[in-house]
């Protein structure tokens, strides 16, 4: 059957057309869509490049539409193909690779290109702009070798680049032509506060600095200013502005001013050609922030679908800077002008500054630095044009000081009108969120974000969105904190990435860099951080005993009566007369009340007094035994069956392999406990198919399986792959364990971790990609150099001796 759908071709696959398609597919299925994207990738959240640069997010986190989206909607996406011309007569576009695509409707969404100031040396290697993922990757690569960076441009992009490079350890200088930073969004007072804050973080700032030349023979070596100063640099980032990409439209004879001229429905002067995003000029304005672009996207989608929609109207968009820990907000106008009045509040000690600009008793602008909680409130008044004479006296103190009483942000959210804007980037009003919650039964921030897009772009409004959810659901809304505990808003993922990206090597450093709310963390986050630091910096990070749960601190399991249980390692479940005798002797000598076989093929001495632990361990050590780590978020047991040694069905030496694996893996710390089993044939007597990692011996080799569970949750394992030799089993299991160690969340068992990452993804990395598998194995082996130390022996020798004896005994019990 012929496809009778009309052909829609889109040039550019940025944020604006991505959003347009979402609206379009909700409205109609009339189009067959073809997209050309000069960037060789899917649609991602460009705003979030700054967190990628600083290491707080990864590329995978910021993808808006994955490959699945294009498949699902039958879209042809030409990745890495640039459209070079539009043939309006034939109604077709031609790409640089020669692809020709005919259109019924065409959308030009080519965005902008960074402005490069043509000073001498601007084309030297080492000079980059800041616009796309490739620029970001180039900066990250440059930062890996350390050195000095100069950022030219002290606007939004330049400062985000500077902060990101600084976070990655570079020495950074910002050069800004104007006398104060971000002069388009901030008045000089707030610009100065910002400069001081950045300087406090070790970023050098030079305002009124005019770049004369970029120096260097084969690559960048420095920057020379007009006053002759030379600043050494290994990397120069140009972030001085953007220019709409309009060349192909101009060549095609469309009306172009600063941008491609459109009417309020985003139509160019050719009725079949639309323009939207940063390349479009509507109502005489071009835009560089996503909120208005999303408006254009919605309107263009309606126009394409032939649906009624109100045309584009200019609105002020607030500006925020996405540098962790710097709060600033500005909206509207703040220059001097006829009839304008300022209300200013400064608190130099707290580093906060607020200024509201009024005209005819109406708010026309606001600049907030430090305390930005009221930004939305001022913006609301700006948009509504309400007369503020009645609250003028208290206006500057903000919303919480209106009408007396104590301020309750949830009550304030409840009191907002339905058309109050909550998410600026996406233009989501309170009413939309409330409807989504009540009609679709949503109950978490994540669900509201997925359904309405509120807080899905820059994320700074997440708190306000939560307040609305709380106002609607009341107590039913248990805050599903995205943070790992109440001390932080950051999730495990962000924390792990920041530790590596920023080279954080101590718990206080992590808390400082990620702005923990509590000075010392809590019993939830400290053990997690301690594990992450141990796993990421083997040999460098020193284990923090005070951040470990008691069991891991004293290497025994605490019991309900405050005594401990002691489980020595019984390698692969195989013991000897000598070991059994030593265990029996210890039990007798220390009056151990109970001796029990565990479900893990070893022996538990239960009810040992804390003071006796050292003695118990010494005796067990002397008999050649080490701690079984029955308490550890680390390797626990490797269960085995009798295998070829004795069993008539055994296909391989399952017992021997189990012992080898346990001797190889013991001592390692993992996100949660790690249990293995090796079984001699598929009859599975060692229960390998419900372990974190299992090996099933078969005639042709060894089947490695993983992701089983038989505790709180019951689940069979998934196959990783079949290998031929014991050496390969060990390599694959080391790689799997190391990948888990590097990407697992604290307390996340293997089955949950694999589900989160995807079993295919895990297999692709630790089994199929031989180079990655080898590298993971090698990292595991390296980290074992610092991990395979028997904690019992260490303590018997006197380490942490304070743990095991009371500090003082004041009255003898008999004297009572």
Partner 1 sequence: MNAQATPLTWTAIGTLDDIPRQGARCVRNGRMTIAVFRTADDRLFALEDRCPHRNGPLSQGIVHDGCVTCPLHNWVISLETGAAQGADSGATATFPVRLEGTTVLLGL
Pick out the residues of the known binding site for siroheme.
Answer: 685
The CA distance from 500 to 56, in Å, is 10
Partner interacting with residue 520 (select from partner 1, ligand FAD, ligand SRM, none; CB below 5-8 Å by kind): partner 1
Own/partner contacts of 225-229, CB < 8 Å, gap of 24 or more, are 225/175
211, 305, 233, 229: which is closest to 265 by C-alpha?
305
By C-beta, is 449 or 749 nearer to ligand SRM? 749
The DSSP secondary structure of 147-205, one letter per residue, reads: -EEEEE--SHHHHHHHHHHHHTT-EEEEE-SSSSTTTTTS-HHHHHHHHHHHHHTTEEE
By C-beta, is 157 or 207 nearer to ligand FAD? 157
Contact letters (x/-) for ligand FAD, 336-355, by CB under 6 A?
--------------------
43, 21, 2, 38: which is closest to 105 by C-alpha?
21
- Tell me if 290 contacts ligand FAD by CB under 6 A: yes
Partner interacting with residue 810 (select from partner 1, ligand SRM, ligand FAD, none; CB below 5-8 Å by kind): partner 1
By C-beta, is 649 or 800 nearer to partner 1? 800
Partner interacting with residue 602 (select from ligand SRM, ligand FAD, partner 1, none; CB below 5-8 Å by kind): ligand SRM
- Tell me if 637 contacts ligand SRM by CB under 6 A: yes
Own/partner contacts of 194-197, CB < 8 Å, gap of 24 or more, are 194/159, 194/321, 194/326, 194/328, 194/369, 196/351, 197/326, 197/351
Partner interacting with residue 277 (select from partner 1, ligand SRM, ligand FAD, none; CB below 5-8 Å by kind): ligand FAD
**Cβ proximity of 177 and 201 under 8 Å:** no
Q: In the set 99, 324, 598, 684, which binds ligand SRM (CB under 6 A)?
A: 598
H or E element in which residue 267 lies: none
Own/partner contacts of 764-767, CB < 8 Å, gap of 24 or more, are 765/735, 765/739, 766/720, 766/732, 766/735, 766/736, 766/739, 767/704, 767/720, 767/721, 767/732, 767/735
| Among the residue ranges 94-102, 183-191, 428-436, 539-547, the one whose residues contact partner 1 (CB under 8 A) | 539-547
Q: In the set 343, 558, 595, 722, which binds partner 1 (CB under 8 A)?
A: 558
Q: In the set 599, 624, 682, 716, which binds ligand SRM (CB under 6 A)?
A: 599
424, 426, 413, 480: which is closest to 453 by C-alpha?
426
Q: Where in 104-143 is the site for partner 1 (CB under 8 A)?
A: none
564-566 vs 557-558, strand pairing mode: antiparallel
The DSSP secondary structure of 110-161, one letter per residue, reads: --EEE-----TTTTSTTEEESSSHHHHHHHHHHHHT--EEEEE--SHHHHHH
- Tell me the closest approach of the beta carbon of residue 741 to ligand SRM, in angstroms: 17
- Tell me if 567 contacts ligand SRM by CB under 6 A: yes
Binding residues: 641, 647, 681, 685
Q: Where in 12-71 is the site for ligand FAD (CB under 6 A)?
A: 12-17, 36-39, 46-47, 49-50
By C-beta, is 7 or 609 nearer to partner 1? 609
Contact letters (x/-) for ligand FAD, 447-486, by CB under 6 A?
-----------x----------------------------
Binding residues for [4Fe-4S] cluster: 641, 647, 681, 685
Q: In the set 479, 518, 576, 725, which binds partner 1 (CB under 8 A)?
A: 518
Q: Where in 140-169 is the site for ligand FAD (CB under 6 A)?
A: 157, 160
The DSSP secondary structure of 407-441, one letter per residue, reads: --HHHHHHHS-TT-EEETTTTEEHHHHHHHHHHHT
The residue whose two tokens read 């942490």 is 800
Partner interacting with residue 600 (select from ligand SRM, partner 1, ligand FAD, none; CB below 5-8 Å by kind): ligand SRM
The DSSP secondary structure of 771-794, one letter per residue, reads: HHHHHHHHHHHHHHHHH---HHHH
- Tell me if 523 contacts partner 1 by CB under 8 A: yes
Q: Where in 212-271 is the site for ligand FAD (CB under 6 A)?
A: 245, 248
Partner interacting with residue 91 (select from ligand SRM, partner 1, ligand FAD, none; CB below 5-8 Å by kind): none
The CA distance from 587 to 605, in Å, is 7
Phi and psi at 343, nearest 5°, equal: -120, 125
By C-beta, is 15 or 582 nearer to ligand FAD? 15
Which residues would be at the binding site for partner 1 (CB under 8 A)?
518-523, 526-527, 545-551, 553-554, 558, 560, 562, 802, 806-813, 815-816
Which residues would be at the binding site for ligand SRM (CB under 6 A)?
557, 559, 565, 567, 596, 598-600, 602, 604, 630, 636-637, 675, 709-713, 749
């Amino acid at each position: 059957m012929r496809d009778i759908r009309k052909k829609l071709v889109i040039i550019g696959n940025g944020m604006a057309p991505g959003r347009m398609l979402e609206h379009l597919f909700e409205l109609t299925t009339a189009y067959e869509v073809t997209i050309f994207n000069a960037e060789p990738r899917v649609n991602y959240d460009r705003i979030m490049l700054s967190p990628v640069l600083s290491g707080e997010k990864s590329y995978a986190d910021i993808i808006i539409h994955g490959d699945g989206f294009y498949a699902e909607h039958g879209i042809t996406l030409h990745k890495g193909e640039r459209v070079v011309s539009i043939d309006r007569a034939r109604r077709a576009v031609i790409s640089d690779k020669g692809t020709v695509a005919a259109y019924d409707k065409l959308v030009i969404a080519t965005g902008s290109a960074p402005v490069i100031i043509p000073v001498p040396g601007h084309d030297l290697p080492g000079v980059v702009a800041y616009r796309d993922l490739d620029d970001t990757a180039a900066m990250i690569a440059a930062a890996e070798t350390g050195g000095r960076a100069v950022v030219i441009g002290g606007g939004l992009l330049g400062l985000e680049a500077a902060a990101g490079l600084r976070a990655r350890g570079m020495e950074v200088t910002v050069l800004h032509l104007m006398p104060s930073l971000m002069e388009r969004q901030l008045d000089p007072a707030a610009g100065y506060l910002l400069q001081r804050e950045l300087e406090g973080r070790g970023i050098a700032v030079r305002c009124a600095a005019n770049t004369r030349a970029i120096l260097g023979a084969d690559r960048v070596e420095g920057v020379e200013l007009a006053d002759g100063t030379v600043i050494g640099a290994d990397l120069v980032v140009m972030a001085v502005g953007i220019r709409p990409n309009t060349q192909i439209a101009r060549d095609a004879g469309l009306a172009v001013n600063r941008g491609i001229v459109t009417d309020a429905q985003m139509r160019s002067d050719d009725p079949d050609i639309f323009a939207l995003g940063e390349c479009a000029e509507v109502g005489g304005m071009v835009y560089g922030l996503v909120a208005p672009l999303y408006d254009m996207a919605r309107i263009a989608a309606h126009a394409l679908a032939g649906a009624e929609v109100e045309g584009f109207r200019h609105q002020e968009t607030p500006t925020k800077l996405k540098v962790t820990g710097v709060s600033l907000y500005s909206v509207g106008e703040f220059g001097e002008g006829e009839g304008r009045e300022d209300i200013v509040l400064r608190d130099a000690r707290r580093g906060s500054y607020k200024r509201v600009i009024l005209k005819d008793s109406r708010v026309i602008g606001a600049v907030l630095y430090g305390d930005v909680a009221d930004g939305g409130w001022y913006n609301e008044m700006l948009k509504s044009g309400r007369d503020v004479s009645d609250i003028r006296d208290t206006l500057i103190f903000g919303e919480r000081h209106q009408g007396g009483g104590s301020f309750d942000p949830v009550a304030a959210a409840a009191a907002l009108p339905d058309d109050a804007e909550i998410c600026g980037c996406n233009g989501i009003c309170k009413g939309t969120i409330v409807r989504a919650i009540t009609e679709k039964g949503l109950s978490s921030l994540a669900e509201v974000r997925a359904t309405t897009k509120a807080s899905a772009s820059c994320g700074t409004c997440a708190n306000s969105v939560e307040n609305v959810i709380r106002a609607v659901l009341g107590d039913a809304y248990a805050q599903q904190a995205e943070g790992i505990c109440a001390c932080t808003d950051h999730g495990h993922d962000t924390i792990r990435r920041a530790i590596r990206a920023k080279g954080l090597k101590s718990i206080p450093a992590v808390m400082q860099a990620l702005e923990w709310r509590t000075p010392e963390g809590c019993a939830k986050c400290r053990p997690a951080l301690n594990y992450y630091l141990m796993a990421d910096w083997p040999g460098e990070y020193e284990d923090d005993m005070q951040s470990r749960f008691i069991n891991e601190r004293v290497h025994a399991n605490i019991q309900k009566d405050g005594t401990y249980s002691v489980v020595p390692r019984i390698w692969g479940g195989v013991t000897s007369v000598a070991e059994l005798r030593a265990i029996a002797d210890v039990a007798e000598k220390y009056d151990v009340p109970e001796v029990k076989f565990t479900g893990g093929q070893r022996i538990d001495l239960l009810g040992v007094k804390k003071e006796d632990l050292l003695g118990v361990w010494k005796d067990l050590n002397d008999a050649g035994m080490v701690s079984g780590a029955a308490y550890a978020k680390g390797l626990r047991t490797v269960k085995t069956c009798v295998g070829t040694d004795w069993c008539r069905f055994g296909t391989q030496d399952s017992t021997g392999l189990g012992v080898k694996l346990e001797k190889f893996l013991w001592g390692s710390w993992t996100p949660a406990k790690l249990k293995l089993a090796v079984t001699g044939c598929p009859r599975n007597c060692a229960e390998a198919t419900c372990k974190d990692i299992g090996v099933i011996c078969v005639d042709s080799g060894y089947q490695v399986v993983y992701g089983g569970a038989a505790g709180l949750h019951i689940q069979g394992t998934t196959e990783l792959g079949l290998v031929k030799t014991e050496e390969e089993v060990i390599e694959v299991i080391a790689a799997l364990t190391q990948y888990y160690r590097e990407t697992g969340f604290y307390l996340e068992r293997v089955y949950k971790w694999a589900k989160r990452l995807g079993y295919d993804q895990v297999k692709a990395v630790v089994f199929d990609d031989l180079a990655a598998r080898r590298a993971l194995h090698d990292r595991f082996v390296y980290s074992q150099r610092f991990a395979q130390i028997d904690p019992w022996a260490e303590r018997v020798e006197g380490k942490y001796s304070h743990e095991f004896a009371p500090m003082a005994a004041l009255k003898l019990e008999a004297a009572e």
